[in-house]
């Protein structure tokens, strides 16, 4: 049995019909009568020990994971930043392929490109796209030991918005975990994770606002007019005071169709009594100025609508 693999799925280690469909072991090639000299030629790559792949197949995480799956033990699961990459989370990943096995299992030997770990719990892994990986909640805890606060919240927002887990599940696992590296940061960051976040810059803007002492805005909230008609879904907003905060990335500026759509979107909000603050990458490097701008607009909306400022 090979590692990383769903025990109920066909074994990737089975003899391939051809050698151009994915990674294969040296022993498989030998059974098909392929010589070592041919494998050493330009038609194949050698991603790890005893594993080869057609040179025509693009190198990516799918190929890397499939290659390691042929030689790792059955209990191994993708771990840490490797697991995060497998889930498609927008966090930095080092070049090594990280795996983890349960405590007491044989730990794979560390080799070039592979970093093994020990301590996987019985219910801390699942099968995703046919391969074994730590659960989103366990991945969250592991990321807390290698990421900073902002990147960890970005990861949590992406997990929740991508349907991998919930805000509550992240908060619970962070609260009940003891004596684990990074768990204090995990608890702090878990309290800041939100649903309905579409991009890392939106997370960064929200954290700038919170760190600047302002109330935390709502995320991904559909807003309606007085008659119940839908008028928009701001990136961030203070609903009672009708203040929307929209992050405008470069794609908003360089794509004419998107730029026009953004203007129309904001005009609809303005027509219904909302105020709109547009934030760019320039503002992310000037957090104090951004927070001041938001505070001024909150005060203005509070006076205009005769409503108290949010706490």
Q: Which of 163, 190, 217 is the last residue of a domain?
A: 190
Strands (E) across the chain are located at 24-25, 44-48, 51-54, 77-78, 97-101, 114-118, 125-128, 131-134, 218-219, 223-224, 230-232, 236-238, 243-247, 275-279
For residue 106, being part of any structural domain is answered with: yes
18 or 179, higher pLDDT:
179
Q: What is the pLDDT of residue 255?
A: 62
Note whether 113 and 145 are same-domain residues: yes
Which long-range CB contacts under 8 A does 41-47 form with residues at least 24 apart?
Answer: 44/19, 47/23
Mean pLDDT over each residue of the chain, to the nearest integer: 89
Cα angle vertex 184, ends 182, 189, to 5°?
A: 90
Q: What is the mean pLDDT of residues 106-120?
A: 91
Residue written as token pair 């320039």: 282
Kindly tell me if the per-residue pLDDT of 10 is higher than 80.
no
Q: What is the mean pLDDT of residues 253-276?
A: 79
Q: Which of 165, 190, 215 is the last residue of a domain?
A: 190
Q: What is the pLDDT of residue 14?
A: 41
Note whether 91 and 110 are same-domain residues: yes
200 or 12, higher pLDDT:
200
Kindly tell me if the per-residue pLDDT of 230 is higher than 60.
yes
Distances (CA, A) of 172 to 137, 151, 192, 225, 306: 9, 20, 13, 36, 39
Q: What is the pLDDT of residue 201?
A: 97
Q: What is the pLDDT of residue 17?
A: 42
Q: What is the pLDDT of residue 15?
A: 37
For residue 311, being part of any structural domain is answered with: no
d(CA 91, CA 95): 13
What element of type H or E holds 210?
helix 200-211
Distances (CA, A) of 182 to 148, 149, 185, 190, 192: 10, 10, 5, 12, 16
* Residues whose CB is less than 8 angstroms from the CB of residue 49 and which lie 6 or more positions away in sequence, other chains included: 71, 111
Structure confidence by residue, pLDDT tens digits, 162-199: 999 999 999 999 999 998 999 999 999 999 999 999 99
Note whether 152 and 89 are same-domain residues: yes
Q: What is the mean pLDDT of residues 137-153?
A: 97
Q: What is the pLDDT of residue 257?
A: 64
Q: What is the pLDDT of residue 21?
A: 74
For residue 96, being part of any structural domain is answered with: yes
Q: What is the pLDDT of residue 106?
A: 86
User: Is the separation of the CB atoms in 71 and 49 below 8 Å?
Assistant: yes
Q: What is the mean pLDDT of residues 111-127?
A: 93
Counted domains in the chain: 3
Note whether 169 and 105 are same-domain residues: yes
For residue 310, being part of any structural domain is answered with: no
d(CA 24, CA 11): 11
For residue 261, being part of any structural domain is answered with: yes
* Residues whose CB is less than 8 angstroms from the CB of residue 262 and which lie 6 or more positions away in sequence, other chains included: 246, 248, 252
Note whether 50 and 108 are same-domain residues: no
Structure confidence by residue, pLDDT tens digits, 42-93: 888 888 878 888 888 888 999 899 999 988 999 999 999 999 999 999 999 8
Q: Which of 37, 71, 105 is the last residue of a domain?
A: 71
Q: Among residues 308, 305, 301, which one has the least CA distance to residue 243? A: 301
Q: Sorting pLDDT into bands at 50, 70 and 90, what band is 253?
A: low
| pTM listed for this prediction | 0.88
Q: What is the pLDDT of residue 13?
A: 38
- Domain of residue 215, CATH code: 3.40.960.10
What is the end-to-end Cα distance of the chain in Å, rounded? 56
Q: What is the pLDDT of residue 213?
A: 97
d(CA 201, CA 250): 11
Residues constituting the chain: 311
Structure confidence by residue, pLDDT tens digits, 282-294: 999 999 999 999 9
Q: Domain of residue 283: give its range.
A: 200-305
For residue 6, being part of any structural domain is answered with: yes
């Amino acid at each position: 049995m090979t590692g990383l693999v769903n025990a109920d799925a066909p074994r990737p280690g089975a003899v391939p019909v051809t050698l151009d469909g994915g990674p294969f072991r040296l022993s498989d090639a030998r059974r098909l009568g392929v010589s070592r000299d041919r494998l050493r030629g330009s038609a194949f790559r050698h991603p790890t020990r005893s594993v080869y792949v057609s040179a025509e197949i693009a190198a990516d995480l799918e190929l890397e994971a499939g290659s390691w799956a042929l030689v790792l033990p059955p209990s191994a699961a993708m771990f840490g930043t490797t697991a995060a990459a497998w889930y498609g989370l927008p966090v930095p990943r080092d070049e090594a392929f990280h795996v983890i096995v349960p405590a007491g299992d044989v730990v794979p030997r560390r080799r070039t490109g592979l970093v093994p770990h020990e301590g996987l719990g019985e219910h801390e892994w699942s099968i995703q796209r046919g391969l074994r990986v730590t659960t989103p909640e366990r991945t969250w805890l592991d990321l807390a030991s290698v990421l900073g606060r902002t990147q960890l919240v970005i990861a949590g927002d992406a997990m929740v918005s991508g349907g991998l887990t919930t805000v509550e599940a992240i908060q619970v696992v962070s609260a009940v975990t003891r004596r684990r590296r990074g768990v204090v940061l995990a608890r702090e960051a878990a309290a800041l994770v939100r649903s309905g976040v579409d991009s890392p810059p939106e997370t960064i803007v929200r954290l700038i606002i919170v760190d600047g002492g302002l109330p935390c805005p709502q995320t991904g909230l559909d807003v309606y007019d007085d008659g119940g008609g839908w008028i928009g879904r701001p990136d961030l907003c203070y609903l009672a005071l009708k203040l929307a905060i929209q992050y405008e990335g470069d794609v908003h500026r360089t794509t004419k169709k998107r730029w026009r759509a953004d203007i129309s979107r904001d005009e609809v909000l303005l027509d219904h009594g909302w105020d709109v603050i547009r934030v760019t990458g320039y503002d992310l490097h000037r957090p104090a100025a951004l927070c001041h701008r938001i505070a001024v607009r909150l005060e203005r909306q509070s006076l205009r609508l005769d409503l108290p400022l949010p706490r």
